[in-house]
């Protein structure tokens, strides 16, 4: 994965002592993206699909709450990109329970 400046998309930068980078073109300081283990991401997605709460996921997976919330937010954003045209505009949804106790 090629690292580029988020502002000007330049790939020419300095490495700073605090772990960040500084663009040589626009002088913006930025953090390099951190990678996430695919196995860990699969576990998070599985827990999300099982509709477990954030606290349950935190108890089952060793990850910080902030990182988990970031990942879940990104999942929700990606899910909205694949919504059918039927659900555009105002949509009313009712809950229906059939069977059960």
In contact, 75 and 48? CB cutoff 8 Å: yes
- Residue 55 has φ and ψ, to the nearest 5°, of -65, -35
Same structural domain for residues 47 and 75?
Answer: yes
Based on the domain organization, do 45 and 19 belong to the same domain?
Answer: no
The alpha carbon of residue 87 and the mean position of all alpha carbons in its chain are separated, in whole angstroms, by 23
User: Strand pairing partners for 13?
Assistant: 23
- Residues with Cβ within 8 Å of 54's Cβ and at least 6 positions away in sequence, in order, are 65, 68, 69, 72
pLDDT tens across 33-76, in order?
667 788 999 999 999 999 899 999 999 998 889 989 988 998 88
Per-residue pLDDT tens over the stretch 21-31? 899 999 999 88
Confidence (pTM):
0.55
Residue 46 is assigned to a structural domain of this protein: yes
The residue range of the domain holding 63 is: 38-83
């Amino acid at each position: 994965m090629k690292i580029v400046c988020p502002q000007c998309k330049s790939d020419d930068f300095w490495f700073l002592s605090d772990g960040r980078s500084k663009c040589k073109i626009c002088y913006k300081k930025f953090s390099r993206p951190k990678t996430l283990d695919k196995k860990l991401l699969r576990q998070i997605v599985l827990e999300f699909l099982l509709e477990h709460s954030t606290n349950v996921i935190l108890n089952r997976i060793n990850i910080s709450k902030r990182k988990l919330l970031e990942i879940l937010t990104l999942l929700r954003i990606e899910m909205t990109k694949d919504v059918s045209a039927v659900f555009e505009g105002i949509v009313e949804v009712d809950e229906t329970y059939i069977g059960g106790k």
